[in-house]
Chain A
């Protein structure tokens, strides 16, 4: 299948390893990955911070870029981020409608219908759970809020992780509670965010895992930033990177 990679702005600039890993997994499975170079950002930060006017242009740009990719034969769009896929699927049309652009809303809905988070694409669209990965480490999985609730990915990431050879997967206590990131929430309400993060870190440390993984680079950046500040030695590793690993 020809698949367009929606790298996300954060993935492009701060976490290219995650994006490269996404490409590696899909290519290993025999798919053709395309990177529409005109893409920039889905506008989630603008929308969630109250700048929907500014987000409209970004939505339009995103729709233009991925509509074209689909016109060129891409059957699906994938992003290694539950949050950005959540923005495309649940916010783009609403942002367009709020600005009075019904035509854009309809186009956004069409793009959203073909856009998948990585674990959704692998399990639902491509029908695989064993991607041929090996990762001999003790790992705990944090199901990020947008993957869990906005997208409803359920246990798809866990299905994928369970099929990884050599992995020692340990359950995270109170896994479904938010890590406290929430985009600009983490700076606007930094104290509350930090209190949430502290509880998440305690849960991670209680598992004795070497690695904490998730399907969102942003939440991992948050949890990892806290774990690193405390010099805990627990590494944040994105789900895509584990799935790409072969040794």
Chain B
């Protein structure tokens, strides 16, 4: 199998994202990373508390929208339409941003995007930038690239600040410090924030006020800002950032130069399309009717805001996903994080276990679509299996991404890539083939079923008499196995109703 089967004829995937640059992969497979997270009881408590809070809030505000399903349908269709017209829309966006005084740059991968931003910052002569939380810049590892060149990047979102001060990694796409409870946050601030009031309490309002004081001076002096974008409107060249704290407004408004890094999939055709997304996004993400602030701008406005504006359009594996019918739908994601908040796996393991900046259900599909499935032991190959396929993510996704179907497809791509690259099948593949062979024939299947009933003497008090090898031992570590019955159903049927023994 040289190519993946989901790909219609004549479509060529772009290159995979380079996992050596940025943060799209961890250093271990998911099960190993998850084991550590599961052992951290404080983390489990924090996550359970935060995700149950946000789930209830989301359910309440979604419940009051009478046309929620129609909005989801529209959101999904707008995204599908966007992907189908992507080259034309990006050219249109570029033309409109340029016409309004902005400059558009194209970045094939993370390294190129970092280089572009670095050159732009250097050209200003500044040695610090303020940043609005942006998944795209985390994905490409921009902060590290800037720091390597002696430029300080100040994260200004409260949760990002908590992560940065705590020398930690983000674990959620919306609330990167979701794994921290208030008392831990108080400790981090007390320890790391210069000049903080030593009497700081763990009241969220007090902690937020401390962040305000800490960053005020930085905002007032900053000359360069870096942001992401939630939407880029092709028709008008309008960029939009959705936020809560006002740190976004500070970055988008006060500096002289603004550099926005945006994945190519964030373009939307028209301004009117935002009437759909600005209803779907806040209710799905923070569980609010509307987020406190949404900023939009088109190019440069004389006398208002940065007088120099650069838009960097990023590929970094997106054209790889685009070539696949299912992978393309992963690009519909508007990064609301609702799927993370309802995911029973994410709720227990947290975001770090996924290795990538995109954790949770969407991360388990988006990351491997961007970086490629190797068929080997790459940590991202384990991500599609990090789900019980319970489907809660699909139910809440505001743009109706069928994440369970994507997971199943990626699992197939993984086993097929493995088979293509290795002469010997895995023991699992061999077992699956054997099972399929048995089940293809009712006589064989009946014989094996009958053998299983005889095997029931091998199970005592829910445990096999002989220990099972991995991975089956993973079952018996925490659960008893049922004793097979004395007779299979088909034998019972044949004996009591059928005409055959």
Contacts and interface: CB of A to CB of B under 8 A. Distances in A.
Contact of A226 (B386, B389, B479): B479
Given A149-B395, A192-B38, A35 B490 contact: yes
Interface stretch (A14-22, A71-79, A112-120): A14-22
Main secondary structure of the interface of B (DSSP, over half): helix
Given A35-B493, A180-B344, A182-B390, A98 B5 contact: yes
24 contacts: A12-B449, A13-B453, A15-B485, A35-B498, A37-B493, A40-B441, A43-B439, A49-B411, A51-B436, A52-B412, A61-B439, A99-B5, A149-B392, A178-B388, A182-B388, A182-B390, A186-B388, A189-B386, A190-B471, A190-B475, A191-B31, A191-B34, A193-B388, A197-B479
Interface in B329-359: 344-345, 348-349
Interface in A72-115: 91, 94, 98-99
A113 B154 CA distance: 57
Contact of B391 (A11, A61, A146, A225): A146
A9 B408 CA distance: 21
Given A188-B385, A192-B349, A225 B485 contact: no
A188 B348 CA distance: 16
B479 A225 contact: yes
B189 interface: no
B195 interface: no
Interface residues of B, number: 69
Contacts of A145: 388-392
A187 to B, nearest CB: 4
Contacts, number: 206
Contact of B436 (A54, A150, A186, A191): A54
A183 B34 CA distance: 18
A184 B386 CA distance: 11
A148 B394 CA distance: 12
B440 A58 contact: yes
Given A13-B488, A191-B31, A149 B462 contact: no
B388 A49 contact: no
Interface string B431-448: 011011001111001001
A189 B392 contact: no
Chain A's interface size range is 35 or more
A191 B471 CA distance: 12
Interface string B67-85: 0000000000000000000
A223 to B, nearest CB: 9
Contact of B432 (A13, A19, A46): A46
Contacts of A91: 408
Given A16-B488, A35-B493, A196 B348 contact: yes
A178 B462 CA distance: 23
A48 B475 contact: no
B415 A55 contact: no
Interface in A145-169: 145-146, 148-150
A195 interface: yes
A215 interface: no
Interface in A58-74: 58, 61
A235 B475 CA distance: 19
Interface string B410-424: 011111100000000
Contacts of B428: 49
A32 B438 CA distance: 30
Nearest to A94: B405
B35 interface: yes
A43 B438 CA distance: 12
